Structure 1
Amino acid sequence: MKTFLSILGIAAAVVMAAVSAAMNFAFLASLGKTEIEGQMLGAASAAADLLKCLFPFFIAWAWREQRYVAFLSGTAVFILFAGFSLLSAIGFASSNRDAVVQNRSAMDESFAHADQEYQRKIAALAALPTRRPATVLAEELRAAQQNRLWSRSKDCTEATEAPSRAFCDSYFRLRAEQAAAEEAVRLEVSISALQAELASLKTQGAGQARDAQVMVLSNLFGLPEGRLRLVLIVAVALVVELGSSLGLYLAAGPQKGPSAKSDADTIRSAERRPIGDIEDFVLAVLRPAQDGEASLWELFLAYRKWCEKNQLDPIENCQFGDRFRELAKAVQLPKEGETFRGVALGAVGT
């Protein structure tokens, strides 16, 4: 179960690291004057972000090996990279959220304009007089043009007699009704198009809160929306950066407490031999010799042999070198490079 959870945690941490690197790449790439400069900035930012994920391992190893200079320098670089990555993530989250808010604001303006036009055309349609369908009126007009009064009045341009005037009056009334019917058809088509546009804008979020999360939190806590939006932007960036910075280390290398030691660890700890003391080695093996000399490597090999004969555990080469140099300096033993003069190796024994 622990193995499965560790694998799951590592996978999630890798995803967080990839998201953080992509966010930083996108933000820094947008700051380049040209496309190639943007790609260079983005690549440098992504590389720094990936290094940031590995630095916790390097820092822990340096501390475990007591390399304090590497530990301090690694910690400083990690803080620098993490801060840089956090600022980039804040910039990306801010620009992204602002773009969403501006897009919804533009949709609200488009929705308001379309709704205003829709209401105007509904009112114009309602203001039209009562009318019959345009096709019916067209047929009646064609029938009227077959009337003998139509030709007698020369297409109602010279209606001088009473019958002609009455005929032409009814004809022009039909024309007016036909014009109203045609205008109604045009308005209905336009109204249908506006209804479809309004429905589409509503589906995209028009007419709703521009930032619903900020609005709810503002109503809940009574804080200004601008301040809440800033807090949420920083919170998103912090979640991504903390997950990408420490997630991989925490998932891949959990530290075991004393209670988590296995039986094998306990047995090995009980069977571990004492550490060979360098001062005891010096007193037992080295002897003064005016023309004698011994290199640090020869001394270390003799020390290991002495530890083996006395059933002791030797320390590492680098630790032996540091400790022996301190002793040599304390007794003012002359040296040239890594070779110490005035001493010779005696028989290795107890």
Structure 2
Amino acid sequence: MTNNRQQPSLEDSEQERPSEVHFPPIQNGMDYLLSVTEHLTGTPGPRELKYAVLHLQAAAEVLLKARLLREHWSLVFDDPGRARRADYEAGDFTSCSASMALDRLNNVVGIAFDDKDRHALAVLTKSRNALQHYGLTTSAPAVESRAAQVLDFLLRFVHQHLRPHLSEQERVELDDEMENVASGLSAIKKFLTSRWNRLRKEIEPYLDHTVGCVWCYQKALVIRPASDELVCSFCLKVWDNSLIAASDYVQWTTGFPPMTTNDISSPLRRCPMCGVGELVTRAENARGDTVALCFSCARIFDNITECLTECGLLAPPGEELCFVHSAFPNETAGDLEISDLPVVDPEDRKPTWEILRDYGYAANPPSEGSLTKDNEQEAP
């Protein structure tokens, strides 16, 4: 069979090709944002989700650094102290990361950033790195929800901190690009609203026990008692155990190191009822109330009270003493023989000796000896 289709000549092909690629930083960043909205339109598949993550991270870096450039070209270098103008003009240098750009915009330029926006960008960076180096598994709703927050932040950033520095012609061009991106963002938000409408009846009975998900930022993580795993109803992210979920939540909402301590200021404490160290002392539920919520037993506390002995444990509601000192009000923990301490129902909380071991006492099961402080030697 003869192919009668005329093939373009080499000369024609060269004439059709652009002589150069010209994408100034702001235009480049806005083009990335438009690409994100296009990839998330309709029902995105794995390929669309991949490029949405990659292009959103690229947009964030380009636009943040574009504002640094307005301040001084050396600020986009990984090490501004070693910046050379010749290297900058040749594009032959290692640039700063998105997190470094945020810090410099804050410390040098004086732009303040919301903690949630910072966290959203940090999660985006981790997702991009995972995708680039070893692959990423996540759900479409999670990507779309995260993308909506980052897109919203970047549009605000461009409008407030880049647009005022442009010429009149550049502003006209930017406004057209922002309108296209905003339209795409609106479509993503409509999807989020539609999904919420479907989930509302499922979550409605558990609003008091529902908190924000660190993956999709939606208040759709229902805390259920003694659950083997916790699942976000919106993005379907699964936590294998409630301690990881509690630690992630604390890290997301406070930036505090996610570990249980007996420090009165710690956002993660040992629950006074179940004894497990998964009580988030300031959790905002889906009703908008701030409560103390245990991610293990799902009990809610309007107020938490320190044990009167200042031992570091919390007292149950209506009580002055923790469960240990309620049993032995006239003793200090260090004076108690482990065989005298009650072993609590394991379905309700850990055995008391295990709890005390966690709090710095060399406590062993009843058959193994007595109780001493870790830094003290046991009497012969």
Scaled to the shorter chain, the TM-score interval is: under 0.3
Larger Rg: 1
TM-score by structure 1 length?
0.24
TM-score by structure 2 length?
0.22
Looking at both structures, which has the greater relative contact order when contacts are Cα pairs under 8 Å and sequence separation is at least 6? Answer: 1
Q: Give the structure with the higher percent helix.
A: 1
